[in-house]
């Protein structure tokens, strides 16, 4: 599903260069449930952004399926991301002028151009699953941070993506809701063989994954498959 070869990411800060990711290589199979773990500053979010086609490596190649995404133009990369990838942001990235319902529906209009009835069915199914059905007409400023996170998760899943990248998806959720969200993701993984890759410190997620990849200072220091 995903193959990253010899990735390097260097950020320029004035005249200085900071190498955040160093010679990073990784293969991810279809349907895997993976956690990227490591201390703050280890490069987890940077890796997630590159694999999720939100950022490009300074060096190296990334292929998703049969497509080498590092060779695509910015617009084609965005089209590919919209059609194949779901992304759950730590900062939610909800559209403030749209309702909860409209935020989740948005990718179905802009990316998939689905008819209204099919959009409604998909949106309401996920809003029920994340416990946000009764808040569907509220705008993001009228709901809590945990509720915004649930909306962001529903939006990421509504297109039935082949792969979902999630940056601390349960960070703003209470324990009960977090477990429900993890159960929802596991059910989607099982039904559709959707691949999930998390960058997280949350033990509730880490204890449910099939594989744990540990990063330290931009390098993979361990890659452990968990026997269930």
Q: Can you give the pLDDT at residue 145?
A: 86
Which tens digit of pLDDT belongs to each residue from 135-149?
Answer: 999 999 999 988 998
- Among 91-95, 175-179, 180-184, 222-226, name the most confident range: 222-226
If one compares 70 and 227, the residue with the highest pLDDT of the two is 70
Give the chain's length.
228
Q: Identify whether the C-beta of residue 10 lies closer than 8 Å to the C-beta of residue 19.
A: yes
Mean pLDDT within 191-211: 91
Model pLDDT for residues 91-118, shown as the tens digit of each residue? 889 999 999 999 999 999 988 888 999 9
Backbone torsions φ then ψ of 146, nearest 5 degrees: -65, -40
Give the pLDDT confidence score for residue 167 in this predicted structure. 92
Judged by DSSP in three states, 8 sits in: strand
Domains parsed from the chain with CATH numbers: 2-225 (3.40.50.300)
State the average pLDDT for the chain. 92
At 174, is the pLDDT very low, low, confident or very high (cuts 50, 70, 90)? confident
Residue-wise over 134-150: b if at least 16 C-beta within 10 A, else e? ebbeebbeebeeebbbb
pLDDT tier at 170 (50, 70, 90 boundaries)? confident
- The whole-angstrom separation of Cα 40 and Cα 45 is 10
- Digit-coded pLDDT (tens) for 33-90: 999 999 988 999 999 999 999 999 999 999 999 999 998 999 999 989 988 999 988 8
* Arithmetic mean of pLDDT, 24-30: 95
Q: Quote the tokens at residue 9.
A: 């990411």
Span 160-169, pLDDT tens digits: 999 999 998 8
pLDDT at 1: 87
């Amino acid at each position: 599903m995903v193959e990253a070869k010899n990735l390097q990411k260097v950020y320029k800060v004035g005249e200085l260069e900071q190498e955040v990711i160093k010679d990073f290589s990784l293969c991810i199979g279809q349907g895997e449930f993976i956690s990227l773990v490591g201390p703050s500053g280890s490069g987890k979010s940077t890796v997630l952004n590159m694999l999720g086609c939100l950022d490009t490596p300074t060096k190296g190649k990334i292929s998703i399926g049969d497509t080498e995404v590092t060779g695509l133009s910015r617009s084609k990369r965005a089209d590919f991301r919209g059609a194949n990838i779901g992304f759950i942001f730590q900062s939610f990235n909800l559209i403030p002028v749209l309702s909860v319902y409209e935020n989740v529906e948005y990718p179905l209009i802009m990316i998939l151009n689905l008819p209204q009835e099919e959009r409604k069915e998909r949106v309401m199914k996920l809003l029920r699953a994340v416990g946000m059905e009764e808040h569907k007409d509220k705008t993001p400023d009228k709901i809590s941070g945990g509720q915004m996170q649930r909306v962001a998760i529903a939006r990421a899943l509504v297109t039935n993506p082949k792969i979902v990248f999630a940056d601390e998806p349960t960070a703003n959720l209470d324990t009960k809701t977090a477990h429900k969200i993890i159960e929802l993701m596991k059910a989607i993984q099982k039904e559709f063989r959707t691949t999930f890759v998390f960058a997280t410190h949350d033990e509730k997620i880490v204890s449910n994954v099939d594989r744990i990849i540990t990063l330290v200072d931009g390098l993979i220091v361990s890659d452990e498959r968990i026997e269930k």
